[in-house]
Amino acid sequence: MTIADLIEQHIKNLLVSTATDMVIIRRQELAQMFDCVPSQINYVLQTRFTPEKGYVVESRRGGGGYIRIVRMMAPSRGEIIKDVILSIDRPLVQREVEEILEQLVELDVLDERTAVLLKALIKYECNDYNPEIANYVRASLLKITLLMELQSNFQG
């Protein structure tokens, strides 16, 4: 586990332990706690606590400065799937498909087993195409499977 992982986990634990879905931290105190530079805290906040991941981060600098992290209301599973489908507006390389599926697992939209199966299926199905066409096929396969998941979401 990296220092960034530890910092992220600590902040998430703070959020879980509060009833308000909001936590106020001081960058310097957190840096001292993890024996790192304050820019490491900034890195974690900028990459792991983004609006796309369901967080709003407000920062106030200076002597009385603080960082407020607010966990936004989570969109429904169906809304997340629809947003991902709409965001797939171009051909995708395999790594992009994997990143999307990993994000869906992190958001509890897909379970780990389903994501692994989809990664393997999409990779296998695109093996026989030239790379340019494979990128289009990958995007289409991901969209189709997510549409099927969305449909089952509303039927079940």
Instruction: Looking at the structure, tell me whether residues 114 and 140 fall in a common domain.
Output: yes
Query: 58 - beta bridge partners?
Result: 68
pTM (2 decimals)?
0.56
Per-residue burial over 17-40, b = 16 or more CB atoms within 10 Å of its CB, e = otherwise: eeeeeebebebeebbeebebeeeb
Q: Identify the segments of the chain with pLDDT beneath 50.
A: none
Residue 43 is predicted with a pLDDT of 93
pLDDT at site 71: 85
Q: What is the pLDDT of residue 33?
A: 94
In total, how many domains does the chain have? Answer: 2
Kindly state whether residues 128 and 148 are assigned to the same domain: yes
- Tell me, yes or no, whether 47 and 90 share the same domain: no
In the structure encoding, which two tokens stand for residue 153, read together?
């979401």
Same domain, 97 and 136: yes
- State pLDDT tens for residues 84-102: 898 898 999 999 999 999 9
Check residue 59 and give its pLDDT.
Answer: 86
The pLDDT value recorded for residue 18 is 82
pLDDT at 142: 95
Domain boundaries, position 45: 3-71
Look at residues 53, 71, 89 and tell me which one is the last residue of a structural domain: 71
* Shared-domain flag, residues 110 and 132: yes
* Same-domain check for residues 51 and 121: no
Work out the mean pLDDT of the chain and round it to a whole number: 89
Query: CA separation (Å) from 70 to 7, 28, 55, 105, 121?
Result: 16, 19, 6, 21, 37
Q: What integer pLDDT is reported at residue 152 of this predicted model?
A: 80
pLDDT for res 100: 93
